[in-house]
Protein backbone atom coordinates (compact mmCIF):
# COMPACT_ATOMS: atom_id res chain seq x y z
CA UNK A 1 0.00 0.00 0.00
CA UNK A 2 2.85 2.36 0.84
CA UNK A 3 4.29 1.69 -2.60
CA UNK A 4 0.96 2.67 -4.17
CA UNK A 5 0.84 6.02 -2.37
CA UNK A 6 4.49 6.69 -3.18
CA UNK A 7 3.82 6.03 -6.86
CA UNK A 8 0.69 8.20 -6.73
CA UNK A 9 2.58 11.06 -5.07
CA UNK A 10 5.34 10.90 -7.67
CA UNK A 11 2.71 10.88 -10.44
CA UNK A 12 0.80 13.83 -8.87
CA UNK A 13 3.95 15.92 -8.44
CA UNK A 14 4.87 15.14 -12.03
CA UNK A 15 1.47 16.38 -13.20
CA UNK A 16 1.92 19.61 -11.21
CA UNK A 17 5.34 20.20 -12.73
CA UNK A 18 4.06 19.57 -16.25
CA UNK A 19 1.00 21.77 -15.66
CA UNK A 20 3.12 24.64 -14.38
CA UNK A 21 5.48 24.25 -17.33
CA UNK A 22 2.52 24.25 -19.75
CA UNK A 23 1.12 27.42 -18.18
CA UNK A 24 4.45 29.18 -18.45
CA UNK A 25 4.88 27.98 -22.01
CA UNK A 26 1.42 29.31 -22.90
CA UNK A 27 2.21 32.73 -21.44
CA UNK A 28 3.84 34.91 -24.09
CA UNK A 29 7.15 36.45 -22.99
CA UNK A 30 5.43 39.85 -23.23
CA UNK A 31 3.56 38.99 -20.01
CA UNK A 32 6.64 38.04 -18.01
CA UNK A 33 6.79 41.61 -16.67
CA UNK A 34 3.27 41.22 -15.29
CA UNK A 35 4.14 37.90 -13.69
CA UNK A 36 7.33 39.23 -12.12
CA UNK A 37 6.22 42.72 -11.07
CA UNK A 38 2.45 42.42 -10.63
CA UNK A 39 1.85 38.82 -9.54
CA UNK A 40 -1.73 39.52 -8.43
CA UNK A 41 -2.90 40.60 -11.90
CA UNK A 42 -5.11 38.10 -13.68
CA UNK A 43 -4.62 38.68 -17.41
CA UNK A 44 -7.80 37.81 -19.35
CA UNK A 45 -7.61 35.72 -22.50
CA UNK A 46 -8.75 38.50 -24.83
CA UNK A 47 -5.87 40.67 -23.63
CA UNK A 48 -3.39 37.84 -24.03
CA UNK A 49 -4.62 37.53 -27.60
CA UNK A 50 -3.50 41.11 -28.36
CA UNK A 51 0.18 40.20 -28.10
CA UNK A 52 2.00 40.70 -31.39
CA UNK A 53 2.46 37.45 -33.35
CA UNK A 54 5.68 38.84 -34.88
CA UNK A 55 7.91 38.88 -31.81
CA UNK A 56 11.51 38.03 -32.80
CA UNK A 57 10.41 37.17 -36.31
CA UNK A 58 11.96 38.02 -39.66
CA UNK A 59 9.05 40.38 -40.29
CA UNK A 60 9.74 42.21 -37.02
CA UNK A 61 13.40 42.73 -37.96
CA UNK A 62 12.42 44.04 -41.39
CA UNK A 63 9.87 46.38 -39.78
CA UNK A 64 12.49 47.80 -37.40
CA UNK A 65 14.99 48.19 -40.22
CA UNK A 66 12.43 50.02 -42.36
CA UNK A 67 11.32 52.32 -39.52
CA UNK A 68 14.92 53.09 -38.62
CA UNK A 69 15.73 54.06 -42.20
CA UNK A 70 12.58 56.17 -42.39
CA UNK A 71 11.63 54.47 -45.64
CA UNK A 72 8.13 54.34 -47.06
CA UNK A 73 6.76 50.84 -47.00
CA UNK A 74 6.57 48.97 -50.32
CA UNK A 75 3.32 47.42 -51.62
CA UNK A 76 3.92 44.45 -49.31
CA UNK A 77 2.83 46.63 -46.38
CA UNK A 78 -0.72 45.28 -46.61
CA UNK A 79 0.41 41.68 -46.16
CA UNK A 80 2.76 42.73 -43.37
CA UNK A 81 -0.09 44.46 -41.52
CA UNK A 82 -2.23 41.35 -41.84
CA UNK A 83 0.56 39.19 -40.44
CA UNK A 84 1.07 41.66 -37.59
CA UNK A 85 -2.62 41.91 -36.75
CA UNK A 86 -2.75 45.64 -37.57
CA UNK A 87 -5.40 47.60 -39.45
CA UNK A 88 -3.55 49.62 -42.08
CA UNK A 89 -6.56 50.74 -44.11
CA UNK A 90 -7.37 54.33 -44.98
CA UNK A 91 -11.17 54.27 -45.17
CA UNK A 92 -12.53 53.52 -41.70
CA UNK A 93 -15.82 54.51 -40.10
CA UNK A 94 -15.78 54.19 -36.35
CA UNK A 95 -17.95 56.06 -33.87
CA UNK A 96 -17.27 58.16 -31.89
CA UNK A 97 -14.51 59.30 -34.27
CA UNK A 98 -17.08 60.50 -36.78
CA UNK A 99 -17.49 64.28 -36.77
CA UNK A 100 -21.28 64.31 -37.16
CA UNK A 101 -23.62 64.36 -34.15
CA UNK A 102 -23.94 60.92 -32.64
CA UNK A 103 -27.44 61.26 -31.25
CA UNK A 104 -28.70 61.70 -27.75
CA UNK A 105 -28.07 60.15 -24.42
CA UNK A 106 -31.11 59.12 -22.46
CA UNK A 107 -30.41 57.67 -19.07
CA UNK A 108 -33.49 56.97 -16.98
CA UNK A 109 -33.55 57.62 -14.08
CA UNK A 110 -29.79 57.69 -13.61
CA UNK A 111 -29.32 60.99 -15.44
CA UNK A 112 -31.48 64.06 -15.34
CA UNK A 113 -31.62 65.31 -18.92
CA UNK A 114 -29.73 64.05 -21.92
CA UNK A 115 -28.89 66.51 -24.68
CA UNK A 116 -27.00 65.34 -27.73
CA UNK A 117 -23.63 66.81 -28.65
CA UNK A 118 -21.47 67.17 -31.70
CA UNK A 119 -18.22 65.29 -31.33
CA UNK A 120 -15.21 67.53 -31.34
CA UNK A 121 -12.49 65.45 -29.68
CA UNK A 122 -10.65 67.58 -27.13
CA UNK A 123 -9.95 65.16 -24.29
CA UNK A 124 -10.35 61.46 -23.64
CA UNK A 125 -13.60 62.33 -21.88
CA UNK A 126 -15.18 63.15 -25.23
CA UNK A 127 -15.30 59.39 -25.86
CA UNK A 128 -17.48 58.86 -22.78
CA UNK A 129 -21.25 58.82 -23.21
CA UNK A 130 -22.91 56.75 -20.55
CA UNK A 131 -22.97 59.09 -17.56
CA UNK A 132 -25.00 58.58 -14.42
CA UNK A 133 -25.25 59.71 -10.81
CA UNK A 134 -24.13 57.27 -8.15
CA UNK A 135 -26.92 58.36 -5.85
CA UNK A 136 -29.48 57.11 -8.38
CA UNK A 137 -27.91 53.69 -8.95
CA UNK A 138 -30.44 51.18 -7.61
CA UNK A 139 -31.78 47.73 -8.35
CA UNK A 140 -34.51 47.93 -10.94
CA UNK A 141 -33.32 51.23 -12.37
CA UNK A 142 -33.75 51.51 -16.15
CA UNK A 143 -31.11 53.04 -18.39
CA UNK A 144 -30.35 53.43 -22.08
CA UNK A 145 -26.67 53.11 -22.96
CA UNK A 146 -25.18 54.42 -26.20
CA UNK A 147 -24.16 51.00 -27.57
CA UNK A 148 -24.74 48.74 -24.56
CA UNK A 149 -21.03 49.18 -23.76
CA UNK A 150 -20.05 47.64 -27.09
CA UNK A 151 -16.69 48.97 -28.30
CA UNK A 152 -16.80 49.81 -32.03
CA UNK A 153 -13.01 49.81 -32.29
CA UNK A 154 -11.89 46.59 -34.05
CA UNK A 155 -9.40 44.20 -32.52
CA UNK A 156 -5.72 44.77 -33.32
CA UNK A 157 -2.41 43.49 -31.95
CA UNK A 158 0.10 45.47 -29.97
CA UNK A 159 3.41 46.36 -31.54
CA UNK A 160 6.26 44.08 -30.51
CA UNK A 161 8.26 45.83 -27.79
CA UNK A 162 11.33 46.16 -30.01
CA UNK A 163 9.24 47.87 -32.68
CA UNK A 164 7.39 50.09 -30.22
CA UNK A 165 10.71 51.24 -28.76
CA UNK A 166 11.94 52.09 -32.26
CA UNK A 167 8.77 53.83 -33.43
CA UNK A 168 8.60 57.59 -33.16
CA UNK A 169 6.38 58.79 -30.25
CA UNK A 170 2.69 59.29 -30.97
CA UNK A 171 2.53 63.09 -31.21
CA UNK A 172 1.05 65.47 -33.77
CA UNK A 173 4.48 66.62 -34.92
CA UNK A 174 5.38 63.00 -35.68
CA UNK A 175 2.20 62.26 -37.63
CA UNK A 176 3.84 62.42 -41.09
CA UNK A 177 6.37 59.79 -40.09
CA UNK A 178 3.73 57.67 -38.33
CA UNK A 179 1.51 57.74 -41.41
CA UNK A 180 4.51 56.77 -43.49
CA UNK A 181 5.26 53.90 -41.15
CA UNK A 182 1.79 52.40 -41.60
CA UNK A 183 1.48 53.51 -45.23
CA UNK A 184 -1.52 55.77 -44.55
CA UNK A 185 -2.28 58.66 -46.91
CA UNK A 186 -2.46 62.19 -45.54
CA UNK A 187 -6.05 63.13 -46.40
CA UNK A 188 -7.77 59.96 -45.27
CA UNK A 189 -10.09 58.95 -42.46
CA UNK A 190 -7.40 56.84 -40.81
CA UNK A 191 -5.02 59.80 -40.92
CA UNK A 192 -7.61 61.88 -39.06
CA UNK A 193 -8.09 59.11 -36.49
CA UNK A 194 -4.32 58.85 -36.00
CA UNK A 195 -4.27 62.61 -35.50
CA UNK A 196 -6.89 62.30 -32.76
CA UNK A 197 -4.81 59.68 -30.96
CA UNK A 198 -1.69 61.81 -31.26
CA UNK A 199 -3.51 64.90 -29.97
CA UNK A 200 -4.80 63.02 -26.92
CA UNK A 201 -1.48 61.34 -26.15
CA UNK A 202 0.56 64.54 -26.24
CA UNK A 203 -1.80 66.67 -24.14
CA UNK A 204 -0.32 67.49 -20.72
CA UNK A 205 -1.85 65.64 -17.76
CA UNK A 206 -4.02 67.33 -15.17
CA UNK A 207 -2.28 68.43 -11.96
CA UNK A 208 -1.43 65.36 -9.91
CA UNK A 209 -2.19 63.01 -12.80
CA UNK A 210 0.17 60.70 -14.67
CA UNK A 211 -0.52 59.37 -18.14
CA UNK A 212 1.00 57.31 -20.93
CA UNK A 213 -0.02 55.85 -24.30
CA UNK A 214 1.47 52.34 -24.28
CA UNK A 215 1.84 50.71 -27.69
CA UNK A 216 3.22 47.41 -26.33
CA UNK A 217 2.15 45.02 -23.59
CA UNK A 218 5.41 45.63 -21.76
CA UNK A 219 5.04 49.41 -21.72
CA UNK A 220 1.53 49.10 -20.30
CA UNK A 221 2.81 46.77 -17.59
CA UNK A 222 5.58 49.22 -16.77
CA UNK A 223 3.18 52.14 -16.43
CA UNK A 224 0.61 50.30 -14.32
CA UNK A 225 3.21 48.88 -11.94
CA UNK A 226 4.90 52.29 -11.64
CA UNK A 227 1.60 53.76 -10.46
CA UNK A 228 0.12 50.96 -8.35
CA UNK A 229 3.08 48.82 -7.34
CA UNK A 230 3.19 45.03 -7.31
CA UNK A 231 -0.29 44.40 -5.96
CA UNK A 232 -2.92 45.35 -8.51
CA UNK A 233 -5.84 43.71 -10.21
CA UNK A 234 -7.72 44.42 -13.40
CA UNK A 235 -11.42 45.07 -13.82
CA UNK A 236 -13.26 45.36 -17.12
CA UNK A 237 -16.75 45.36 -18.55
CA UNK A 238 -17.76 41.87 -19.67
CA UNK A 239 -20.68 40.48 -21.64
CA UNK A 240 -21.19 43.49 -23.93
CA UNK A 241 -22.60 42.58 -27.35
CA UNK A 242 -20.25 41.94 -30.26
CA UNK A 243 -22.18 44.53 -32.26
CA UNK A 244 -24.13 47.59 -31.24
CA UNK A 245 -27.79 46.68 -30.72
CA UNK A 246 -29.99 47.43 -33.73
CA UNK A 247 -32.86 48.36 -31.44
CA UNK A 248 -31.78 50.22 -28.36
CA UNK A 249 -33.90 49.20 -25.41
CA UNK A 250 -33.37 50.05 -21.75
CA UNK A 251 -31.14 47.86 -19.61
CA UNK A 252 -32.24 47.02 -16.08
CA UNK A 253 -29.86 47.17 -13.12
CA UNK A 254 -30.10 43.73 -11.48
CA UNK A 255 -27.47 44.22 -8.79
CA UNK A 256 -24.39 46.32 -8.14
CA UNK A 257 -21.28 46.63 -6.01
CA UNK A 258 -19.73 49.91 -4.93
CA UNK A 259 -16.07 49.74 -4.05
CA UNK A 260 -14.84 51.94 -1.23
CA UNK A 261 -13.45 55.44 -1.60
CA UNK A 262 -10.24 54.13 -0.03
CA UNK A 263 -9.88 51.69 -2.95
CA UNK A 264 -10.34 54.55 -5.40
CA UNK A 265 -7.64 56.82 -4.02
CA UNK A 266 -5.51 55.86 -6.97
CA UNK A 267 -6.56 53.79 -9.96
CA UNK A 268 -5.32 53.48 -13.52
CA UNK A 269 -7.83 53.63 -16.37
CA UNK A 270 -6.69 52.54 -19.84
CA UNK A 271 -8.96 53.66 -22.68
CA UNK A 272 -8.85 51.80 -25.98
CA UNK A 273 -7.77 54.15 -28.80
CA UNK A 274 -8.15 53.57 -32.51
CA UNK A 275 -4.80 53.39 -34.31
CA UNK A 276 -3.39 50.95 -36.90
CA UNK A 277 -1.86 48.92 -34.04
CA UNK A 278 -3.26 48.45 -30.54
CA UNK A 279 -2.88 51.63 -28.52
CA UNK A 280 -4.19 52.60 -25.11
CA UNK A 281 -4.51 55.92 -23.34
CA UNK A 282 -3.71 55.17 -19.69
CA UNK A 283 -3.94 57.65 -16.85
CA UNK A 284 -3.97 57.35 -13.12
CA UNK A 285 -6.81 59.19 -11.46
CA UNK A 286 -7.42 59.95 -7.80
CA UNK A 287 -10.57 60.71 -5.85
CA UNK A 288 -12.64 58.03 -7.53
CA UNK A 289 -14.89 55.13 -6.73
CA UNK A 290 -15.32 52.02 -8.86
CA UNK A 291 -18.79 50.57 -9.38
CA UNK A 292 -19.68 47.18 -10.86
CA UNK A 293 -23.21 46.25 -11.88
CA UNK A 294 -25.12 43.50 -13.66
CA UNK A 295 -27.21 45.06 -16.42
CA UNK A 296 -29.93 42.94 -18.02
CA UNK A 297 -30.70 43.57 -21.70
CA UNK A 298 -34.12 43.12 -23.28
CA UNK A 299 -33.02 40.01 -25.19
CA UNK A 300 -31.86 38.26 -22.04
CA UNK A 301 -28.08 38.72 -21.99
CA UNK A 302 -26.34 40.16 -18.95
CA UNK A 303 -23.62 42.81 -19.11
CA UNK A 304 -21.29 43.00 -16.15
CA UNK A 305 -20.45 46.68 -16.42
CA UNK A 306 -17.64 48.52 -14.67
CA UNK A 307 -17.97 52.23 -14.04
CA UNK A 308 -15.77 54.94 -12.57
CA UNK A 309 -17.25 57.64 -10.35
CA UNK A 310 -15.24 60.85 -10.14
CA UNK A 311 -15.94 62.37 -6.73
CA UNK A 312 -14.68 65.85 -7.61
CA UNK A 313 -14.86 67.23 -11.16
CA UNK A 314 -13.47 70.68 -10.38
CA UNK A 315 -10.49 70.11 -12.68
CA UNK A 316 -12.66 69.15 -15.66
CA UNK A 317 -13.30 71.66 -18.40
CA UNK A 318 -16.60 73.53 -18.17
CA UNK A 319 -17.66 72.04 -21.52
CA UNK A 320 -17.30 68.46 -20.26
CA UNK A 321 -20.28 66.48 -21.63
CA UNK A 322 -21.15 65.00 -18.23
CA UNK A 323 -22.27 68.38 -16.90
CA UNK A 324 -24.85 68.84 -19.64
CA UNK A 325 -25.95 65.19 -19.66
CA UNK A 326 -26.50 65.09 -15.90
CA UNK A 327 -27.46 68.73 -15.38
CA UNK A 328 -24.89 69.11 -12.62
CA UNK A 329 -22.47 71.93 -11.83
CA UNK A 330 -18.75 71.66 -12.37
CA UNK A 331 -17.19 69.99 -9.37
CA UNK A 332 -20.09 67.65 -8.62
CA UNK A 333 -19.62 63.89 -8.61
CA UNK A 334 -20.13 62.18 -11.98
CA UNK A 335 -19.94 58.52 -13.02
CA UNK A 336 -19.53 56.86 -16.40
CA UNK A 337 -19.53 53.28 -17.63
CA UNK A 338 -16.53 51.89 -19.47
CA UNK A 339 -16.71 49.96 -22.73
CA UNK A 340 -15.81 46.31 -23.05
CA UNK A 341 -12.21 46.95 -24.15
CA UNK A 342 -11.30 49.59 -21.59
CA UNK A 343 -9.20 48.37 -18.66
CA UNK A 344 -9.38 49.53 -15.03
CA UNK A 345 -6.48 48.69 -12.75
CA UNK A 346 -7.02 48.98 -9.00
CA UNK A 347 -4.73 48.28 -6.04
CA UNK A 348 -5.33 45.08 -4.13
CA UNK A 349 -6.35 45.80 -0.56
CA UNK A 350 -3.87 44.25 1.86
Answer with the residue of higher pLDDT: 298 or 122.
Answer: 298
Beta bridge partners of 346: 233
Q: Of 323, 305, 306, 304, which is closest to residue 314 (Cα–Cα)? A: 323
Strand order in the sheet with 279-285: 210-212, 279-285, 267-273, 343-347, 232-235
Is it the case that residue 59 has pLDDT exceeding 80?
no
Query: What's the rounded mean pLDDT across residues 150-179?
Result: 89
Residue 286 lies in a domain: yes
> 268 and 307 in contact (C-beta within 8 Å)?
no
Q: How far apart are CA 140 and CA 155, in angstroms?
A: 33
Nearest Cα residue to 80 out of 92, 67, 93, 68: 67
Task: Report if residue 154 sits inside a domain.
Answer: yes
255 is a domain residue: yes
Q: What is the pLDDT of residues 288-329, one digit of tens each?
A: 999 999 999 888 889 999 999 999 888 888 888 888 888 999
d(CA 293, CA 291): 7
Has residue 21 got a pLDDT over 80?
A: no
DSSP strands (E only) in the chain: 131-132, 142-143, 210-212, 232-235, 251-258, 267-273, 279-285, 288-296, 302-310, 334-337, 343-347
Domain membership flag for residue 4: no
Structural domains of the chain, count: 1
What are the tens digits of pLDDT across the range 252-262? 999 999 887 77
Asked whether residue 235 is domain-assigned, the answer is yes
Residue 341 to residue 147: CA distance in whole angstroms: 13
- Tell me whether residue 21 is in a domain: no
Is there a contact between 291 and 270 (Cβ–Cβ < 8 Å)?
no
Q: 302 pairs with which residues across the strands?
A: 296
pTM of the model: 0.81
The average confidence (pLDDT) of the chain is 77
Within a domain: 12: no
* Structural domain containing residue 47: 40-347
**Pairing state between β 210-212 and 267-273:** unpaired
Name which of 294, 329, 292 is nearest 307 in CA terms.
292
CA-to-CA distance for 270 and 268, rounded, in angstroms? 7
Tell whether the model's pLDDT for residue 330 goes beyond 50.
yes
What is the C-alpha to C-alpha distance for residues 54 and 289, in angstroms, rounded to an integer?
38
- Are 320 and 349 contacting, i.e. CB atoms less than 8 angstroms apart? no
**pLDDT score of 28 more than 80:** no
pLDDT-derived band at 116, boundaries 50, 70, 90: very low
Amino acid sequence: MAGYWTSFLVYYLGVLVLTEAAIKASNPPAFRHWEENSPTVNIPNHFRGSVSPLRRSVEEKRFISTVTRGAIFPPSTASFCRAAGFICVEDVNITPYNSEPVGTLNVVPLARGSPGRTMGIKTINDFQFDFFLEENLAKGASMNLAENLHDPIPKRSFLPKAVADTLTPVTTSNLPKLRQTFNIGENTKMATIMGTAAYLCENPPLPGEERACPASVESMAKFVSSQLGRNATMLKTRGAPGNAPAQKKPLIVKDFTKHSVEEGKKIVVCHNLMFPSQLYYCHHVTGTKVVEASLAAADGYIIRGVAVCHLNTTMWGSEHPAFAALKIPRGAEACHWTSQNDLIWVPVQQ
